[in-house]
Amino acid sequence: QQQVKQSPQSLIVQKGGIPIINCAYENTAFDYFPWYQQFPGKGPALLIAIRPDVSEKKEGRFTISFNKSAKQFSLHIMDSQPGDSATYFCAAGEGGSEKLVFGKGTKLTVNP
Amino acid sequence: GAVVSQHPSRVICKSGTSVKIECRSLDFQATTMFWYRQFPKQSLMLMATSNEGSKATYEQGVEKDKFLINHASLTLSTLTVTSAHPEDSSFYICSAKDPPYEQYFGPGTRLTVT
């Protein structure tokens, strides 16, 4: 029940494409859903996060879509660039808890 | 976003020695910090949660006597790998919580035990 299932495991798109990464959760107590971007040999960087009171949030080229009834959320990257090639992790947290539960990650490759 | 630093970025040590890794929140006070371990091409494995001024809470299967965590101030937490062995070689990453929700990661420390 504490798991966050992330798919796909890897994704290859052409420059300008819109990669979509999906995550699903079971614990209805989760109320915070961040996405992290990690480059090889670096720590994850907080990209964007959403609370369940909204269904969509945009920051620059990154958009989170959230479906509370389906217990799913996804990351869309508009006009993807080769520099977006990285591993992306979704996570979920519960307000009263300190911990985040992470998905297994998606390796994104954006070809020139 | 908030900045978390980690030192050192890379360390090589001999088997049987101890290594200390520092994690600092540079522009905010973090009452809670976390230590993760990451194996190649895998997700983040939470090792322990550290609260300022109290004992760390370790995840199941993590040896607390091997991985000593100290959170002495609101901006500093340390992880000491005691009597390191080659199987402890890994990428260790800390994170700090900027209340109420955001968690920011450090750049990581690559530990190699020879």
Residue A96: per-residue pLDDT: 61
For chain A, residues with pLDDT lower than 50 are none
Residue A94, pLDDT score: 85
Cβ-proximal residues to A38 (8 Å cutoff; 6+ apart), any chain:
A44, A45, A86, A87, A88, A89, A105
Q: What is the pLDDT of residue B101?
A: 85
Residues of B in contact with A102 (CB under 8 A): 43-44
Residue of A nearest to B6 (CA): A43
The pLDDT value recorded for residue B100 is: 81
Q: What is the pLDDT of residues A26-36, one digit of tens each?
A: 999 999 999 99
**Cross-chain Cβ contact B43/A98 below 8 Å:** no
* A36 touching chain B per CB within 8 A: yes
Count helices and strands (H / E) in chain A: 0, 11
Residue A58's beta-bridge partner residues? A63
Instruction: Using CA coordinates, name the residue in chain A closest to B93.
Output: A43
Percentage, residues of chain B above pLDDT 90: 82
Contact A46 B102 (CB under 8 A): yes
Mutation site for B-interface testing, chosen from A35, A42, A89 by largest number of B Cβ within 10 Å: A42
pLDDT at A97: 67
Instruction: Please provide residue A83's backbone torsions phi and psi, each rounded to the nearest 5 degrees.
Output: -65, -10
Phi, psi of B86 (to 5 degrees): -55, -30
Q: Is A106 in CB contact (< 8 Å) with chain B?
A: no
Give whole-number Cα distances, B37 to A49, B1, B45, B82, B90, in Å. 23, 23, 5, 15, 7
- A40 touching B (Cβ < 8 Å): no
pLDDT of residue B53: 84
By Cβ distance, the residue of B41, B97, B106 closest to A43 is B106
What is the Cα–Cα distance from B29 to B41, expressed in whole angstroms? Answer: 31
Size of interface A-B (CB pairs under 8 A): 53
Q: Do B102 and A95 touch (CB under 8 A)?
A: no
Read off the pLDDT of residues B35-57 as tens digits, 9 standing for 90 and up.
999 999 899 999 999 988 888 99
Q: Which residues of chain B have pLDDT under 50?
A: none
Task: Give chain A's radius of gyration (CA, Å).
Answer: 13
The pLDDT value given to residue B59: 94
Phi and psi at B8, nearest 5°, equal -85, 170
Cα–Cα dist A98/A62, whole Å: 26
Contacts of B46 in chain A (CB under 8 A): 99
